[in-house]
Amino acid sequence: MKIGFDNDKYLALQAAHIKERRSQFGDKLYLEFGGKLFDDYHASRVLPGFRPDSKIRMLATLKDEVEIVIAICAGDIEKSKMRGDLGISYDDDVLRLTDVFRGLGFYVGSVVITQYAGQPAADAFIKRLTDLGVKSYKHYPIAGYPSDVAHIVSDEGLGKNDYIETTRSIVVVTAPGPGSGKMATCLSQLYHENKRGVRAGYAKYETFPIWNLPLKHPVNLAYEAATADLNDVNMIDPFHLEAYGKTTVNYNRDVEIFPVLNAMFEKIQGNSPYKSPTDMGVNMAGFAIVDDAACQEASRMEILRRYYAGLVDRVRGKCDECVVRKLEIVMQQAGVTPDICPAVRASLDKAQATGAPAGAMVLPDGRVVTGKTSSLLGPSAAMLLNAVKLLAGIDKDLDLLPASIIAPISDMKLRHLGHHNPRLHSDEVLIALSISAVTNPLAERVLKKLDDLRGSDAHFSVILSEEDAKLYKRLGIQVSCEPKYEVKKLYHK
């Protein structure tokens, strides 16, 4: 894989910039963290060399100065909102995040329940936190938010919120997902700190869009593709252009809300420290790009994957036509077509030649391997076997798992486990290989090549099963699929 991003340089630049921003305000900095703190896989895909845990590693250099506050919206608790990537509710994720942060040595000061209006589920969660020894605070809906600045910045607005007791100079406000009230929490704290005579400031840490890359740079377009369902649009920051005569990139929601935020800062503190939404940010990622061409190539591949994911979501009823149309526009702007991924054409050609579902994978070294459907193996399992055999230098026609091994597993699935499909999934093949490795040195040899698949791109002629998709993700293989199921029926899992 071509490296386009210097992660060590980024960590040093980012930590130094946050310290500098804190010193600008004196006593305390409230830092709103957008995106994911320790599992930012999107960033690692579009900025090759960026580590998914880069943000938390950067914060670790400031650990003794950092306190974490986790925000969660009471309405999300009430409706049991789920994290799509993890399959757990937001309130459970608050507990997971707390455990993870503490396990990494960070101080998690408290949880704030935003938009609290007496929701029973929120009350139950507050009790649960109390029983677990976690401090919690309540922030309330404010009439006229965010436009009625005079009411918002008053004792009847932000003043009604609980004041969150903090002890560190850098307070990171994070959340399980978007819409959790991170910014409103920071503003509320600024109001209360000012009333107490404490000098405090606010900054926003969002990785994307990268403010000092061009508007239509593939890295920034990949962010638009990733947020196609949220109607986020990258745009030139007009306030920054007017104030400094420099072109920078931000996104529509921050640009739209900036005049209101600016008025709030002025009313809370007497004057605003910022002249533009770009000023509010502390992101230094653009300065750590060392190979722009590599980042552009990686971003175009990410846009293509997002496009196929949108097509599949449309078939599953998870998104509407507008999302797919937006993704098509982003593809056009970035110069992306399916031809940039050799696995797409290879999988479709294999499916046409065999008359059955097929897959293809581009290995990190550029070689392409395919997999077809057989009576005992699905295309994902067959392709996985073919890929590790190729990497291990083993003849592709050699049966590492002969029918005598696979057939009893298939029979058990049908006879005893209630399955209708006798073919083995990818995880089942790996389990069979692991057992075979006890007596078969070749099986042991190919298993050692699994880590070498990380960073590969795979494409399938049909929608991949949930089991296979999860395994490929764990192996670090990026997957896309044609938007159609293997069989025609109404219910699919």
Report in angstroms the alpha-carbon separations of 83 from 76, 90, 438. 11, 6, 39
Phi first, then psi: give them for residue 227, nearest 5 degrees: -115, 25
Give residue for tokens 């930012």: 40
Q: Can you give the length of the chain in residues?
A: 493
- Which amino acid is located at 220 in the chain? N
H helices present in 393-493, as ranges: 403-415, 426-436, 441-447, 466-474
Q: What is the pLDDT of residue 318?
A: 87
CB 243 within 8 Å of CB 276: yes
Q: What is the pLDDT of residue 301?
A: 97
Ordered by where they begin, the domains of the chain are: 7-221+234-288 (3.10.630.10), 341-481 (3.40.140.40)
Phi first, then psi: give them for residue 113, nearest 5 degrees: -95, 110
Of 412, 406, 415, 337, nearest to 375 (Cα)? 406
Distance CA 324, CA 158 (A): 40
Q: What is the pLDDT of residue 377?
A: 87
Cβ atoms within 10 Å of 64's Cβ, excluding its own: 10
Burial class (CB in 10 A: 0-12, 13-18, 19+), 54: buried
CA dihedral 377, 379, 385, 390 (to 10 degrees): 140
Distance CA 138, CA 161 (A): 6
Q: What is the pLDDT of residue 26?
A: 79
> Does an H or E element contain 69, and which?
strand 66-73
Q: What is the CA radius of gyration of the chain?
A: 25
Distance CA 151, CA 145 (A): 9
Q: What is the pLDDT of residue 491?
A: 47
Per-residue pLDDT of the chain (493 residues; tens, 9 = 90+): 789 999 999 999 999 999 999 998 877 999 999 877 777 889 999 999 999 889 899 999 999 999 999 999 999 999 999 886 677 899 999 999 999 999 999 999 999 999 999 999 999 999 999 999 999 999 999 999 888 999 999 999 999 999 999 999 999 999 998 889 999 999 999 999 999 999 899 999 989 999 999 999 999 999 999 989 887 899 999 999 999 999 999 989 889 989 988 998 999 988 899 999 999 999 999 999 999 999 999 999 999 999 999 999 999 998 889 999 999 999 999 999 999 999 999 999 999 999 999 999 999 999 999 999 988 889 999 999 999 999 999 998 888 877 777 778 777 877 777 777 778 889 888 988 898 888 889 999 999 999 999 999 999 999 999 889 999 999 999 999 999 987 665 445 5
Of 224, 481, 458, nearest to 341 (Cα)? 458
pTM recorded for the entire structure: 0.89
Cβ atoms within 10 Å of 223's Cβ, excluding its own: 27
Q: For the residues of 269-332, what is the DSSP string, one character each?
A: HSS-S-SSHHHHB---GGGGBS-HHHHHHHHHHHHHHHHHHHHHHHHHTSS-HHHHHHHHHHHH
> Does an H or E element contain 234, and which?
strand 234-236
